[in-house]
Amino acid sequence: MATDVHRAVSPDRAGQEEPAAVRVQGLSRTFDGRRVVDGLELTVRSGEFVALLGRSGCGKSTLLKILTGLDREIEGAVLVPRRKATAFQAPRLMPWKKVWRNVLLGLPGKPERAVAERALAEVGLDHRVDAWPKTLSGGEAQRASLARALVREPDLLLLDEPFGALDALTRIKAQRLVGELWQQRGCAVLLVTHDVEEAVLLADRVLVMDDGVIAHETEIDLPRPRDIADPGFAELRTHLLDHLGVEAPTPAPAPAHAHASASASA
Ligand SMILES: Nc1ncnc2c1ncn2[C@@H]1O[C@H](COP(=O)(O)OP(=O)(O)O)[C@@H](O)[C@H]1O
Ligand SMILES: [Mg+2]
């Protein structure tokens, strides 16, 4: 049964006692005099899976880049774990390095090939360890990018629309994989997506970004594994679409007398 708790995030949530993977207070980022992020507050609990929705251009990637540490021209406070990893929509593999070398790219020290092999096995790419990136399918490249994130053993995994470019079937498989990896690893995940169903399928909590802040949040209390055919699922999807300013298609209501005549003839 779905419990639909929705409320605006209040700043005092950031002051709660439980351990947090992410704590953002009063975060602002300005581009050319325009405040894309404007006093944003956000807490992600350790091990929590949070999905972030919002219309295109509302600042989701900007927020993720800040959390990744790629953008430091900010105001406000950002606390993230030292061990964090990011996967972007484009897999960003170096074409002149084999898949396993791509997975280890940027790791400190001299990590062994076996480290990459283990991560690639985890994402179901054991057979592509020695492949060149250009020979991978879109789904495989995205899984290689996930493996590269996993070898960092992150306490926080940041995902920016990682399935956005995949076809429907590959996307479903990749979503399932991320759900499984999250359950095995127990790291916190912040997943940026434009797909409401993906958010409800995977997340403990779904946030909607608007006007530079987290304008809305919904707890997703459905049992896992989740079923999009669950009535609770549809309810949450409609609710979130509402907050995104998208009207969900409503089934044509049955005329009031239809039931009466149906029962009368029964
Ligand atoms: N480096 C940048 N310089 C100038 N404007 C930027 C830069 N990065 C992002 N923006 C602007 O900030 C806004 C939010 O961008 P972005 O965070 O990429 O949105 P989203 O990921 O939600 O689609 C957009 O209007 C974008 O043009
Ligand atoms: Mg983006």
> Each residue of 129-158: pLDDT tens digit?
999 999 999 999 999 999 999 999 999 999
Q: Which ligand is nearest to the CA of 56?
A: 1
Percent of the chain with pLDDT over 90: 77
The pLDDT of residue 89: 85
Average pLDDT of the residues in 18-28 = 93
Please state the atom number of ligand 1 nearest to the C-alpha of residue 160.
21
Integer Cα distance of 45 and 42 in angstroms: 10
Is residue 249 very low, low, confident or very high in pLDDT (cuts 50, 70, 90)?
Answer: low
Average pLDDT of the residues in 39-57 = 97
The pLDDT of residue 166: 87
Residue 263 has pLDDT above 80, yes or no: no
Is residue 246 very low, low, confident or very high in pLDDT (cuts 50, 70, 90)?
Answer: confident
If you take atom 7 of ligand 1, which residue's CA is the nearest one? 31
Q: Which two tokens stand for residue 34?
A: 């325009």
The pLDDT of residue 153: 94
Q: Contacts for 99-104 with beta carbons within 8 Å, 24 or more apart?
A: 99/125, 99/128, 99/129, 99/130, 99/131, 99/132, 99/133, 99/136, 99/144, 100/129, 100/130, 102/133, 102/144, 102/148, 103/144, 103/147, 103/148, 103/151, 104/148, 104/151
The pLDDT of residue 257: 54
The pLDDT of residue 210: 96
Please state the atom number of ligand 1 nearest to the C-alpha of residue 71.
1
What global pTM score does this model have?
A: 0.86
Integer Cα distance of 266 and 263 in angstroms: 5
The pLDDT of residue 7: 31
* Residue 60 Cβ contacting ligand 1 at under 6 Å: yes
The pLDDT of residue 43: 98
* Residue 58 Cβ contacting ligand 1 at under 6 Å: yes
Query: Measured in angstroms, how far is the CA atom of residue 88 from the centroid of ligand 2?
Result: 9
The pLDDT of residue 164: 85
Give the environment of ion ligand 2: residues with CB less than 5 A: 61
Query: Measured in angstroms, how far is the CA atom of residue 59 from the centroid of ligand 1?
Result: 6
Residue 17 has pLDDT above 90, yes or no: no
Integer Cα distance of 74 and 225 in angstroms: 38
* Residue 212 Cβ contacting ligand 1 at under 6 Å: no
Average pLDDT of the residues in 89-94 = 90
The pLDDT of residue 2: 33
Instruction: Give the highest mean pLDDT range of 6-15, 214-223, 244-253.
Output: 214-223
Integer Cα distance of 22 and 42 in angstroms: 7
pLDDT, the chain, mean:
88
Is residue 190 very low, low, confident or very high in pLDDT (cuts 50, 70, 90)?
Answer: very high
The pLDDT of residue 256: 55
The pLDDT of residue 71: 95
Residue 9 has pLDDT above 90, yes or no: no
The pLDDT of residue 6: 30
Q: Which of 11-15, 55-59, 176-180 has the lowest mean pLDDT?
A: 11-15
If you take atom 10 of ligand 1, which residue's CA is the nearest one? 31
Query: Measured in angstroms, how far is the CA atom of residue 226 from the centroid of ligand 2?
Result: 26
* Residue 36 Cβ contacting ligand 1 at under 6 Å: yes
